[in-house]
Structure 1
Amino acid sequence: MDNTSGASRPSVLFVTDLAYEARGRRYGDEDVFLTSRLREEFDLALCHPKDAAALSDRFDAVVVRNSGPVLHHQEAYDAFRTRARERGTRVYNSLDGGGDMAGKQYLVDLSRAGFPVIPTVDRAADLPLLPPASAYVVKPKLGADSVGLRFVRTPALSAKEEGTLLVQPRIDFRHELSFYYVDRDFQYALYAPDPDRRWVLEPYTASAADLEFARSFVEWNPLRHGIQRVDACRTADGALLLVELEDLNPYLSLDRVGPEVRDAFVTRLGAAVRELLD
Structure 2
Amino acid sequence: MPSARPRLLYVTDLAYPARGRRYGDEDVFLTSRLRDRFDLALCHPKDAAALMDGFDAVVVRNSGPVLGYRTEYDAFRARALETGTLVYNPLTGKADMAGKGYLLDLTEAGLPVIPTVDRAEDLHRLPAVDRYVVKPAYGADSLGLRTVPASRAAEAPVADGSVLVQPHIDFVHEVSFYFVDDDFQYALYAPDPRDRWELKPYRATAADLEFARGFIDWNGLGHGIQRVDACRTLQGELLLVELEDLNPYLSLDVLPEEEQDAFVGTLTASLSRFVLAGALAPA
TM range (shorter): over 0.9
Q: Secondary structure at the match of 1:57?
A: coil
Does 2:246 align with 1:248? yes
| Number of matched pairs | 274
| Residues 43-100 of structure 1 deviation map (CA, whole Å, 9 limit, x = unaligned) | 1110111111111111111100001001101111111111101111011000000110
Amino acid at match of 1:44: L
Displacement of 1:160 in angstroms is 3.5
Which position in structure 2 is the counterpart of 1:275?
A: 273
Amino acid at match of 2:68: H
Superposition pairs for residues 197-276 of structure 1, below 5 Å? 197-276=195-274
Counterparts in 2 of 1:22 and 1:158: CA distance versus 1, 3 Å: closer
Match for 1:135 among 113, 131, 137? 131
Q: Is the 8 A contact 2:26 2:253 kept in 1?
A: yes
Counterparts in 2 of 1:135 and 1:34: CA distance versus 1, 3 Å: same
Which position in structure 2 is the counterpart of 1:123?
A: 119
Displacement of 1:8 in angstroms is 2.2
Distance 1:195 1:160 in 2: 30
Q: Is the 8 A contact 2:157 2:164 kept in 1?
A: no
Displacement of 1:139 in angstroms is 0.9
Which position in structure 2 is the counterpart of 1:37?
A: 33
Distance 1:230 1:143 in 2: 17
**What is the aligned-residue RMSD (CA, Å)?**
1.2
Q: What TM-score, normalized to structure 2?
A: 0.94
Displacement of 1:42 in angstroms is 0.3
Distance 1:63 1:185 in 2: 19
Q: Secondary structure at the match of 1:97?
A: coil
Amino acid at match of 1:226: G
Match for 1:73 among 48, 69, 74? 69
Q: What TM-score, normalized to structure 1?
A: 0.96
Which position in structure 2 is the counterpart of 1:147?
A: 143
Counterparts in 2 of 1:62 and 1:157: CA distance versus 1, 3 Å: same
Q: Is the 8 A contact 1:122 1:162 kept in 2?
A: no
Distance 1:276 1:181 in 2: 15
Identity %: 68
| Residues 133-168 of structure 1 deviation map (CA, whole Å, 9 limit, x = unaligned) | 120001110111111111111221467345111110
Q: Is the 8 A contact 1:124 1:162 kept in 2?
A: no
Which position in structure 2 is the counterpart of 1:87?
A: 83
Counterparts in 2 of 1:87 and 1:162: CA distance versus 1, 3 Å: closer
Worse overlay, 54-63 or 203-212: 54-63
Displacement of 1:222 in angstroms is 2.8
Which position in structure 2 is the counterpart of 1:106?
A: 102
**Which runs of no fewer than 5 residues in structure 2 stay unpaired?**
277-283
Amino acid at match of 1:54: A
Match for 1:183 among 172, 181, 184? 181
Amino acid at match of 1:179: F
